[in-house]
Amino acid sequence: MAARKRASATTATDTKPSPPQTQTTTTQIEPPIAPPKKGLIFKFCCFFSIPYFYLLFQHYKIERDLKRSILINAALSIAGFFLTQRMIPVASRYVLKRGLFGFDINKKGTPQGAIKVPESLGIVVGIVFLVLAILFQYFNFTADSNWLVEYNAALASICFMILLGFVDDVLDVPWRVKLLLPSFAALPLLMAYAGHTTIIIPKPLVFYIGQEVLDLGWVYKLYMGLLAVFCTNSINIHAGLNGLEVGQTVVIASAILIHNLMQIGVSSDPEYKQAHAFSIYLVQPLLATSLALLSFNWYPSSVFVGDTYTYFAGMTMAVVGILGHYSETLLIFFLPQVLNFLLSLPQLSGYVKCPRHRLPRFNPETGLLTGTQDGTLVNFYLRIFGPKSEKSLCIHLLLVQALGCCFCFMLRYFLAGWYK
CA atoms within 13 A on the CB side of 260: 30
Give the residue-averaged pLDDT of 197-223. 78
Query: What are the residue ranges of helices labelled H in 141-269?
Result: 146-171, 175-178, 181-185, 187-192, 203-209, 218-237, 244-266
Give the residue-averaged pLDDT of 297-318. 95
Task: Output 143 or 168, whichever has higher pLDDT.
Answer: 168
The distance from CA 190 to its chain's CA centroid, rounded to whole angstroms, is 20
pLDDT in tens, 3-33: 565 654 334 444 444 455 444 433 334 556 8
3-class DSSP state of 368 = strand
Give the residue-averaged pLDDT of 85-106. 93
pLDDT at 44 over 60: yes
Q: Is the dihedral of CA 281, 167, 178, 393 positive or negative?
A: positive
pLDDT at 355 over 80: yes
pLDDT at 199: 75
pLDDT at 208 over 70: yes
- Distances in whole angstroms, Cα of residue 207 to Cα of each of 48, 197, 202, 414, 415: 42, 21, 10, 21, 18
Domain ranges of the chain: 63-353+365-415
Q: Which residues pair with 101 in a beta bridge?
A: 118
Q: Phi and psi dihedrals of 283, rounded to 5?
A: -80, -35
Calculate Rg over the CA atoms of the chain: 22
pLDDT at 4: 60
Q: Phi and psi dihedrals of 186, rounded to 5?
A: -80, -10
Q: In terms of C-beta density within 10 A (0-12 exposed, 13-18 middle, 19 or more buried), how is residue 24 classed?
A: exposed
Helices H / strands E in the chain, number of each: 18, 7
C-alpha span between 148 and 288 (Å, rounded): 23
Say if residues 337 and 330 touch (Cβ distance below 8 Å).
no
pLDDT at 130 over 90: yes
pLDDT at 217 over 50: yes
In residues, how long is the chain?
420
pLDDT at 34 over 90: no
pLDDT at 378: 96
pLDDT at 388: 96
- The share of the chain scoring above pLDDT 70, in percent, equals 90
342 C-beta neighbours (distance < 10 Å), count? 11
pLDDT at 212: 76
